[in-house]
Amino acid sequence: MASETEKTRALLQSCSPQSLMCSLGLGVFCLVVDRLLQFPVIQQSDWLRALSDNAVHCVIGMWSWAIVTGIKKKTDFGEVLFAGFLASVIDIDHFFLAGSLSLKAALTLPRRPFLHCSTVIPVVALTLKLAMHLLKLKDSWCFLPWMLCIAWSSHHIRDGIRHGLWLCPFGKTSPLPFWLYVIVTASLPHVCSVVMHLTGARQIMSSKHGVLIDV
Ligand SMILES: [Zn+2]
């Protein structure tokens, strides 16, 4: 278990100028890329629109996790890629709900598919945490529920600018303002880091990655 001094150092590192610059970069990326995706050349093609939209979810997931793990040092690039995969793979539920591999069917659903319900995120994350505890995987895989939270939250928040957040069974919000999406996405990795500190998960991850406790 890390000492209080180590925890304080690690907390400071997660809010270091480099880390904040990376978050600022993430915010600028969101600001620019979602404007670029509005270009007619992309909007006029269903496939191009779907693929580029999904690729942006992937990049935001990767970027967010790279900030959480500390991109200056020994970031495990495999983990970063996996975070991107998690952030983009949930769109597969469009095809499940459509019961078809047709993109047109997947884009014209009568309701939102289940992985786009935001209350599913804490349920799946807590179930994963419990499963890993029971399987005694909690040290080596302790990052997984956090990665899932940040990857899926970033996806839901970005989808929220068009559809709002769906908080089943309580209903859904209005579409999120674009500025709110940018701010929340850019600050999400830091919020995640701080909560991980408070729960002790970050200290376990730090010893695994060899990062953050050596300012
Ligand atoms: Zn989506």
Q: What is the distance in A from the centroid of ligand 1 to the CA of 74? A: 31
- One-letter amino acid at 6 equals E
Å from CA of 138 to ligand 1 middle: 29
The alpha carbon of 158 and the centre of ligand 1 are apart by a number of angstroms equal to: 8
CA of 35 to the centre of ligand 1 (A): 17
CA proximity to 121, closest of 170, 154, 72, 163: 154
Q: Specify the number of domains making up the chain.
A: 1
Distance 88 CA to ligand 1 centre (A): 8
Please report whether residue 171 resides in a domain: yes
Residue at 8 is within a domain? no
Residue 147 belongs to a domain? yes
Asked if the structure places residue 50 within a domain, the reply is: yes
Give me the domain span that covers residue 165.
19-209
Residue 214 domain flag: no
Task: Kindly state whether residue 170 falls inside one of the protein's structural domains.
Answer: yes
pLDDT tens, residue by residue, 29-68:
999 999 999 999 999 999 999 999 999 999 999 999 999 8
Q: What are phi and psi of 5, to 5 degrees?
A: -65, -45
Low-confidence ranges of the chain (pLDDT < 50): 1, 210-215
Residue 81 pLDDT: 93
Residue 5 domain-assigned?
no
What sign results for the dihedral spanned by CA atoms 100, 158, 111, 48? negative
Count CA within 13 A, CB hemisphere, residue 160.
25
Q: Burial letters for 80-117: b for 16+ Cβ neighbours within 10 Å, e otherwise?
A: bebbbebbbbbbebbbebbeeeebeebeeeeebbebbb
User: 84 C-alpha vs ligand 1 centroid, how far in Å?
Assistant: 13
In a domain, 159, yes or no: yes
